[in-house]
Structure 1
């Protein structure tokens, strides 16, 4: 069927002229029905066109379409691909965590592109002006719905879609690679039989021959990588020599580079003919690559691809692979999940990978099947060849996976408490009856009834949910209203939901905040804040290798001896990050761990602000800024100034600057003397002037007071800069007398001056302190001393 016949108004939205057999069979359900649709079809069979057809129908009805992409990298890819819709007058807007959200653009968008995690965040905040656009979605297209089975991300997709359906009930079009239990997904989404499609391998454009290959396993894991690499090259070589291409998947970004470097040597040793070597124009084009190693590699027909490459380099690699310039490409799993780069031969070299938070783990069966599905180039190859290289002990497992596929399971059971708490915090669940109604909207409920031998089901499933609810109440996350079945989240429950935390970690943070709020207990210090984060359950699976433990000891000394080795490694990474001096032995895991640490520090700051003390919240804010920017305590206040990052903060600190006040006092000339250009100095001074600048007016505060007398005074705190949330406290001899929280403009504090017994105090020191719980500025204080006379 010609595109121009099927959707004449949207013919320009498709990069081809006619639909294939699979697309034709599913088309009536998408274009002639309003019901939900579920399509299970082999990788590379053309499911993207079905997503675009669903979007076209939505646009034709002047509705808003939401496309959920499995990876953030793929949202950017869709933005580029769907310029075709932009050229037709429709607005495409990508919403990701790495971009500042423009609510007006999101509200006016015809096509929204998001990851499940961002959609989760948006639906949690749907009642705010910033995210209310999410309730206007008319059609939700889920790309790769089998992501439901992902250990880390499946539950997020499941609860997000259930929540979205409760909020605005959009039409749902779910697309998946081949899965045996497509009926379970269709039942969950209420897709009728007529709109549920199970396309088998006969619909693959290119037949697939998949095998499991073993290698001689040794005692050295480093040497094993090269044994697997040689095995992979053996499998790829016949296809490359025949003019075809091979795609080899490895476990990490670094491994793509190392494997490509070694493969170049092997290709040369084996004298394998590569067409790129004699292509002069290609060699000239390769000079524009930013990555030096990649530039040297691609001219020999060997390339690598990972998310850490610049966008320009990735685009070049993808274009050259499609054009056949690169014949042997090493990649991480990103290519398997979205970028349409099939190859005649696909080899999975690594079935295990190192996860900074989990240690060594098996590659997800979903990833394995997704990668293998990239074998075979439609229109070029008569067959695709896919191979899994693994240890002999795992061979049977992978052969079963290739023969039987992978049923999609719900991952909600393992995170039921956190997600149930989130729904109560959001108000989605308001009473006990709502709990069961919510449960019945989940894939977990459907799957439990479909496979009761693997899940609790029926009454036992309901009892499990009731037990989970009781534990939320017992642990202080939820309260029940007396006399009825109503449920309400506590401050603890709301904070845990807001920051996507494990509930055991939230409970620990709340306990620390209660310590900070208790005036009769020792003050919470920096070490307490760091220890609570490093000991968080989110890091329970972090492992520390032998060489890493030596580096940990060098950073910490005896600090954190009570922690497990993995958690102590986290503490060492935090401490090192605060000074910007992470040891080389810890760097491979440091980035991922640091991102999670920053998320937990932000959560801890909120816990301390709401449940603890302003001073502790301010301290957590300064610790967070130090971890993010890698600066010492003397420079952290400078990071509050927009335009001051780690390098500039260290440079200014070396010149004696510590706070925004120091910058304001120096003026443009002083900052120029410190090494800033005049333009930068002017900009920094303007930004520093926008931060709060408290000043104290003690009025008629006495210098002395007679024993037994008292006098009431007012101390006025004014702010010459922009306003900010502040905590004002007045104390005498270190004991707090009065305090208030305000948005600082100008505020007076009443202060009682009492004449004590001179034998106890010849002088009394009164101090007024301004603390900013949401800014990494050190507290500002001023004191007056009063003599006590007889």
Structure 2
């Protein structure tokens, strides 16, 4: 079918003139009807063009399309790839967590691109002005809908689509690699039979030959890794020598680099002709690569590709692999999920990977099948060759996977309480009947109907949901009155910060203990509570990592399990910016999750404890993020001051915003800042709170048994901000109030008692700024 005939207004948006056989079969359902559509087709058979056709129909009707990409890296690629829609006058806007959201651009966009996680966040906040655009979606295209079967991400995709359908009921077009039970996905999405397609291997552009290969174990895991590499090179060598290309998938970014380096040595030893070694122009172009190791590697025909290298380097590597200058490419699984980069031979060297939060885990069946599907180059190869290299004990399991494929299962049951709480917190569910109505919108319900032996029948589902709701009520996340249910503050906070409910309960308990005086919230308690979050329970600690705990923790957190103590050590070390080498491999991921939990705990303190507790957590959060000292943490509250500038200023004795204001621009220049930076830093510091405390009516002494009234006035000379004002006498709290500072006066009672002196202290703290509390004291003698 010619593009011009099917979509005449959008012919220029497609990089080809005719749709292929698979695309032509599905197109009438996409462009002639408004029903939901589900398409399962082999990898590389052309599903992206179907997504684009659905988007074109939406644009032609002046609607807004949402494209859900499985990975954040792919959202950026779509932005570049779909510049051709921009040339036709339509706007494309990518919404990711790594960019500041521009609500106006999002609202005006014709095509929105998000990950499931970002769409989940947006739909949870749909009633806010920033995210209201998500309710205007007319068509939602789900790329790689078999992500539903992912242990960690599947439930998010499932509940997000269910929520979106309740919010604005868009047309849904779900695309997938080959899956056994496409009819279950169609049932979930209410796609009619004539809009449900399951294209078999006969639609693969290149036939696939796949095998499972085993290897002989070495003395340790390190030796095994290289034995698998040699096995992978054995499998790839005939294709390379024949002028073809091989794509080898490994477990981590670091492994791509190490495998490429080792392979260059092996290729030289085996005297394998590879790459464009005599191509002078290619060698010249290779010098433009920013990655030194990659620059040295590609000239020998060996490359590596992962999410950590620059976009320019990735683009060059992909281009050279497509054109044949690179014949052997090592990559992480990310490449299999969206980049159109097939090879004659694909080898999966690693079927297990290290997850910072889970330890060693098996690579998912989804990832395995996705990677194998990259074998075979349309238009170049008569066949694709794919191999899984694995332990002999796992071989039968992978052979079964190759024969039968993988049915798509719902992963919602394992997180049912968390997601049901979120729907209640959002107001989607507000009575008992709504609970079942919501459940019926999920893939979990649809899959249970077709596989009741694996799941539950309808009555059992109702019982399970009822039990889950009862646990939410008993845990204080939900209030129930008759048939009506509504979220509590605890339930709302758990949903807002995406917390597992056990973690939310622990955060709440810490705040409650602080409130009743049974436990103070100090630095150690905060860090231990975060490190002990159930989300970290699967973190593992190797022997060399455990040996560092003593130096970092000095006995702190000895009651924690080793994995949680490893988290504690990473957070504690991060506060000073001196993470030991033994802990660095997992430090970034653990620290990012730790920062999310600290932000959540701060909100819990604001609601259930006191502003001074929230301020403590905010300072700890800032120290973990920036690696700054206790004394100088307030500097990072100044816009434009990060760890480097804060350390430079602190070294010159400027340890807080007050000191920066006193120093002025000239003093900041003397401290090592350029004049332009000094001016900006000084201006930002002027906007922060500048607190002055004035006492009035406080006597020097008071007779025993008498009393008097005084007052303390707190004035903020900077920008207004929420502040906690706490007054104590001899360490006992007299009053605590939260005010939006400008100027506030608080009464103080002076009572002559049994003590020799009365020490009155006022403390002003800022919940959302990493500034040290401001304190002032007055002493009254008892006569």
Range moving further from structure 2, 268-277 or 300-309 = 268-277
Give the Å deviation of 1:697: 2.4
Looking at structure 2, the residues matched to 510 and 8 of structure 1 have their Cα atoms a distance apart, in angstroms, of 59
What secondary structure does 2:598 align onto? helix
Looking at structure 1, the residues matched to 358 and 704 of structure 2 have their Cα atoms a distance apart, in angstroms, of 66
Give the Å deviation of 1:764: 2.4
User: Given the alignment of the two structures, is residue 780 of structure 1 paired with residue 774 of structure 2, yes or no?
Assistant: yes
Alignment correspondent of 1:582: 579
What does 1:379-528 correspond to in 2, within 5 Å? 379-481=379-481, 484-518=482-516, 520-528=517-525
Give the Å deviation of 1:787: 3.3
Alignment correspondent of 1:120: 120
Give the Å deviation of 1:707: 4.2
- Whether contact under 8 Å (1:516, 1:608) holds in the other structure is no
User: Given the alignment of the two structures, is residue 642 of structure 1 paired with residue 639 of structure 2, yes or no?
Assistant: yes
What does 1:738-753 correspond to in 2, within 5 Å? 738-753=735-750
Looking at structure 2, the residues matched to 681 and 645 of structure 1 have their Cα atoms a distance apart, in angstroms, of 14
Looking at structure 1, the residues matched to 376 and 551 of structure 2 have their Cα atoms a distance apart, in angstroms, of 51
User: Given the alignment of the two structures, is residue 768 of structure 1 paired with residue 757 of structure 2, yes or no?
Assistant: no
Looking at structure 1, the residues matched to 763 and 560 of structure 2 have their Cα atoms a distance apart, in angstroms, of 35
Alignment correspondent of 1:719: 716
User: Given the alignment of the two structures, is residue 566 of structure 1 paired with residue 560 of structure 2, yes or no?
Assistant: no
Give the Å deviation of 1:739: 2.3
Looking at structure 2, the residues matched to 763 and 682 of structure 1 have their Cα atoms a distance apart, in angstroms, of 47
Alignment correspondent of 1:376: 376
After superposition, give the CA deviation of every residue in 1:215-262 in whole Å (9 maximum; x if it has no partner).
112331100111100110111111111111110000000000000000
After superposition, give the CA deviation of every residue in 1:702-725 in whole Å (9 maximum; x if it has no partner).
334444443323322111111111
Give the Å deviation of 1:752: 2.1
Looking at structure 1, the residues matched to 185 and 724 of structure 2 have their Cα atoms a distance apart, in angstroms, of 52
Alignment correspondent of 1:363: 363
Range moving further from structure 2, 491-500 or 65-74 = 491-500
Alignment correspondent of 1:165: 165
Structure 1: gaps of 5 or more residues: none
Q: Pick from 617, 620, 625: which aligns with 1:620?
A: 617
Looking at structure 2, the residues matched to 229 and 362 of structure 1 have their Cα atoms a distance apart, in angstroms, of 18
Give the Å deviation of 1:753: 2.5
RMSD: 1.1
- Whether contact under 8 Å (2:724, 2:739) holds in the other structure is yes
Alignment correspondent of 1:76: 76
Looking at structure 2, the residues matched to 767 and 557 of structure 1 have their Cα atoms a distance apart, in angstroms, of 33
What does 1:113-512 correspond to in 2, within 5 Å? 113-481=113-481, 484-512=482-510
After superposition, give the CA deviation of every residue in 1:307-337 in whole Å (9 maximum; x if it has no partner).
1111111111111111211110000011000
Give the Å deviation of 1:95: 0.2
The TM-score, its normalising length taken from structure 2, stands at 0.99
Looking at structure 2, the residues matched to 46 and 216 of structure 1 have their Cα atoms a distance apart, in angstroms, of 39
Give the Å deviation of 1:737: 1.8
After superposition, give the CA deviation of every residue in 1:555-588 in whole Å (9 maximum; x if it has no partner).
1121111111111111111111111111111111
Give the Å deviation of 1:278: 0.8
Looking at structure 2, the residues matched to 8 and 241 of structure 1 have their Cα atoms a distance apart, in angstroms, of 45
- Whether contact under 8 Å (1:42, 1:199) holds in the other structure is yes
Give the Å deviation of 1:648: 1.4
- Whether contact under 8 Å (2:537, 2:563) holds in the other structure is yes
- Whether contact under 8 Å (1:764, 1:788) holds in the other structure is yes
User: Given the alignment of the two structures, is residue 529 of structure 1 paired with residue 526 of structure 2, yes or no?
Assistant: yes
- Whether contact under 8 Å (1:375, 1:384) holds in the other structure is yes
Looking at structure 2, the residues matched to 320 and 723 of structure 1 have their Cα atoms a distance apart, in angstroms, of 56
Looking at structure 1, the residues matched to 552 and 111 of structure 2 have their Cα atoms a distance apart, in angstroms, of 49
- Whether contact under 8 Å (2:275, 2:299) holds in the other structure is no
Give the Å deviation of 1:56: 0.2
Alignment correspondent of 2:725: 728
Alignment correspondent of 1:50: 50
Looking at structure 1, the residues matched to 382 and 21 of structure 2 have their Cα atoms a distance apart, in angstroms, of 18
Give the Å deviation of 1:700: 4.5
What secondary structure does 2:548 align onto? helix
Closer, same or farther: CA 422–656 of 1 in aligned 2, 3 Å: same
What secondary structure does 2:699 align onto? coil
Range moving further from structure 2, 673-682 or 295-304 = 673-682
What secondary structure does 1:278 align onto? coil
The TM-score, its normalising length taken from structure 1, stands at 0.98
Give the Å deviation of 1:279: 1.0
User: Given the alignment of the two structures, is residue 681 of structure 1 paired with residue 678 of structure 2, yes or no?
Assistant: yes
Looking at structure 1, the residues matched to 703 and 221 of structure 2 have their Cα atoms a distance apart, in angstroms, of 80
What secondary structure does 1:277 align onto? coil
After superposition, give the CA deviation of every residue in 1:24-82 in whole Å (9 maximum; x if it has no partner).
00000000000000000000000000000000000000000000000000000000000
Give the Å deviation of 1:762: 4.0
What secondary structure does 1:353 align onto? strand
Range moving further from structure 2, 702-711 or 142-151 = 702-711
Paired residues, number = 783
Alignment correspondent of 1:671: 668
What secondary structure does 2:294 align onto? helix
- Whether contact under 8 Å (1:606, 1:617) holds in the other structure is yes
Range moving further from structure 2, 71-80 or 318-327 = 318-327
Looking at structure 2, the residues matched to 354 and 554 of structure 1 have their Cα atoms a distance apart, in angstroms, of 25
Looking at structure 2, the residues matched to 364 and 545 of structure 1 have their Cα atoms a distance apart, in angstroms, of 23
Give the Å deviation of 1:282: 1.0
After superposition, give the CA deviation of every residue in 1:666-711 in whole Å (9 maximum; x if it has no partner).
1112112211121111111111111111111224543344444433
Looking at structure 2, the residues matched to 320 and 461 of structure 1 have their Cα atoms a distance apart, in angstroms, of 53
What secondary structure does 2:733 align onto? strand
Give the Å deviation of 1:453: 1.3
Structure 2: gaps of 5 or more residues: none
Alignment correspondent of 1:551: 548
Give the Å deviation of 1:12: 1.0
- Whether contact under 8 Å (1:68, 1:141) holds in the other structure is yes
Looking at structure 2, the residues matched to 195 and 488 of structure 1 have their Cα atoms a distance apart, in angstroms, of 39
Looking at structure 1, the residues matched to 135 and 221 of structure 2 have their Cα atoms a distance apart, in angstroms, of 50
